[in-house]
């Protein structure tokens, strides 16, 4: 399985799920997306295309040692998973609180102007909530965000949605009922945007946005494992 973290985050946010799935016998790829996991300024030169390229490289590494590949993504990682599914042949895709609809708010509308004046800004100003975890904890995400890097994702969302009609792989959509970072409308919209006829939706009752560090982690592990096993057996 290829597991992808979110924007301003790092593998810490999804590592517990990766470890649980590894214990079940699944091969794991857990890449660090460019510009993440160090200091906020390291995000400055990177864009959505760079993160997609690294996600694809991770998928290719997985292909080199496995027969079937499943892509699992949290938040922007879920966006990347969906996007990869439009061009790459994979056994299945799992999204967890993925962003796919356009982000609203005045800050987003003014982003093209702001990025020319302020190259880096507090993550909260961009509507990003750090440690959106019901049980508490630290996802080790950045407190500051590179404006052009963040806007590159926002600008790409309409194109990704348009490509989703090409996605035919089985899909498991997981979302938190109470998410303060990505509105639930995003996950609810995914089934109608894809061409896949095999779509399962799971609503989490006891987690916030970073569900892979929250109370529903055991449930996520179980459902992802069952999803993967059903696909590999059928193949």
Residue positions annotated with a catalytic role: 75, 179, 209
Phi-psi region of 224 (alpha: psi -120 to 50; beta: other; left: phi over 0): alpha
Among 141, 149, 156, 55, smallest CA distance to 100 is for: 156
Give CA–CA dist 98/79, Å, rounded: 6
Residue 179 contacts by C-beta under 8 Å, 6 or more apart in sequence? 97, 132, 208, 209
Contact between 180 and 209 under an 8 Å Cβ cutoff? The reply is: yes
- Name the DSSP class of 102: P
Give CA–CA dist 115/94, Å, rounded: 32
Give CA–CA dist 209/17, Å, rounded: 15
């Amino acid at each position: 399985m290829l597991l992808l973290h979110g924007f301003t985050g790092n593998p810490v946010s999804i590592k517990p799920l990766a470890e649980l799935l590894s214990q079940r016998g699944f091969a794991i790829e857990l890449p660090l997306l460019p510009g993440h996991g160090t200091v906020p300024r390291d995000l400055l030169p990177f864009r959505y295309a760079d993160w997609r390229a690294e996600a694809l490289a991770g998928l290719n590494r997985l292909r080199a040692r496995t027969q079937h590949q499943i892509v699992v993504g949290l938040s922007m990682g879920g966006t990347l998973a969906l996007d990869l599914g439009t061009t790459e042949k994979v056994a299945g895709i799992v999204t967890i609180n993925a962003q796919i609809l356009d982000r609203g708010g005045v800050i987003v509308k003014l982003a093209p102007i702001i990025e020319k004046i302020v190259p880096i800004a507090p993550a909260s100003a961009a509507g990003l909530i750090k440690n959106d975890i019901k049980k508490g904890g630290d996802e080790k995400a950045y407190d500051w965000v590179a404006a052009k890097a963040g806007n590159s994702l926002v600008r790409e969302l309409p194109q990704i949605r348009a490509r989703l009609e090409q996605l035919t792989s089985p899909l498991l959509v997981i979302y938190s009922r109470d998410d303060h970072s990505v509105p639930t409308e995003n996950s609810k919209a995914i089934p109608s945007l894809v061409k896949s006829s095999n779509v399962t939706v799971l609503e989490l009752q006891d987690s916030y946005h970073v569900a892979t560090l929250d109370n529903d982690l055991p449930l996520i592990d179980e459902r992802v494992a069952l999803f993967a096993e059903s696909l590999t057996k059928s193949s």
